Amino acid sequence: MLFHARFWLMLLLTLATGSYGASVGHKEQDNSPRVTQLSGWNGDEQKVADMVPVPHSASEQPIGPSAHSTHSTEDMPCDEEQLAHSRVMDDFLNPLDEKLPSRTYLFLCELHKFLSDVLPQKEGPTSQEGANTVSLDALQSLPPLSLGVSSTESLLSGLVNSSTPTVFVFPERQQGLQTHRVEVTLDSSLLSVLRMRLDEAIAQVKQQEAGQNVIDRLQKLSKLSALSPEGEDDEAVAKEHKWAQYRSVLLLKALQVVLSTWEVERAQRAARADEDGPSVPSQCRLQSLSVSLRKFFLEPSKVNINNCEGECGFPLTSGNNHAILLNSHIQSGQPVNRSLCCVPVEFDDLCVIELESEGTNIFFKTNVVATKCECR
């Protein structure tokens, strides 16, 4: 009987000690940073935000784990649910770790998923197609330009004002973007143009029957790249404002890619419909032509480069003096070794935005997209 009494007494003491230790540990953890929702997130994303400690500084915090964290840089997840689980484990093992994924990292993750969802699904190439696919790196290019604080006004103006065909190159592993930090400074007039063009592009995308999932992702991207209201004191939000300008430029270019891709798809559907009608010889004109490019995580993986098709007969509607004289010679029945050909005479460059861990490089692949055809 005495043995049983001692046993129960020891058990009660053990339980009481454990409860006290848990209570003390809980009180000690109250000194850790509080948790709140990340700005620009709602719905399911609040589950992620509710698990993330708020940094002491309003500026963008490092996105990778600290040196004491058990998660390596390469293991940092990009998916929201995995990210939430990772942060919970970090907080449990090292509750004082305040290093968070930056808004730029979260934005780039969402941007990649947005482009993957919206752009046409990639079809697996045959062995012959794969062998003939040209690597993006094999194309001739102007010297790369770095997008950041040292960017020239002409580069920034060109990115904002032009609709140059563009592709994005993401790292082979998105976790490499954890250390990605880029800021740009646009003057007030260019910033106003960026706001206007971004609003117009967002409105155009929403007008399309893109599906609720696309609209939700676009809403999230808009919040993650939101610019400070005009007239607000830039001194207080200078760093975040510059990061937000960078994210807004990328979003504008991404939306231009999406809208351009949809326009090409509509043109191709219309062309296929015309093929079902009576066959009528066409004059030399520009036609849509999409080709595949090879590069890790290239969005989109197919680029519309256009092509020139049609006849160069009498009367010649397009061509230089040489073509006009050559055509007259051919029409008179004189023999020649070659006839007039419908060929591209003007081109656009292809803008390549390559995202790397240390920054963003802009490459312009010259004379890629045909924009005008003539008989030569």
Instruction: Examine residue 204 and state whether it is found in any structural domain, yes or no.
Output: yes
Q: How confident is the model at residue 126 (pLDDT cuts 50, 70, 90)?
A: low
- Where is average pLDDT lowest: 92-101, 181-190, 277-286? 92-101
Spatial distance between the Cα atoms of 94 and 152, rounded to a whole number of angstroms: 43
70, part of any domain: no
State the average pLDDT for the chain.
75
Mean pLDDT of 176-191: 90
The two structure tokens encoding residue 55: 């940094």
- Residue 311 domain-assigned? yes
Residue-by-residue DSSP string for 314-376: SSP-SB-HHHHHHHHHHHTT---SS---EEEEEEEEEEEEEEETTEEEEEEEEEEEEEEEEE-
- Whether residue 324 is contained in a domain is answered as yes
Number of folded domains that form the chain: 1
The answer to whether residue 238 sits within a structural domain is: yes
DSSP helix, strand, coil percent of the chain (3-state; round to 5): 45, 15, 40
Q: What is the CATH number of the domain that holds 345?
A: 2.10.90.10
Which pLDDT value is given to residue 322? Answer: 86
pLDDT at 211: 84
Distance of CA 181 to the CA centre of its chain: 15
60 domain-assigned = no
- pTM greater than 0.75: no
Question: Which two three-digit tokens encode residue 222?
Answer: 């808009």
User: Does the pLDDT at position 86 exceed 60?
Assistant: no
CA-to-CA distance for 63 and 105, rounded, in angstroms? 7
16 in any annotated domain: no
Within-domain flag for 11: no
Domain that holds residue 202: 79-375
pLDDT band at 313 (very low <50, low <70, confident <90, very high): confident
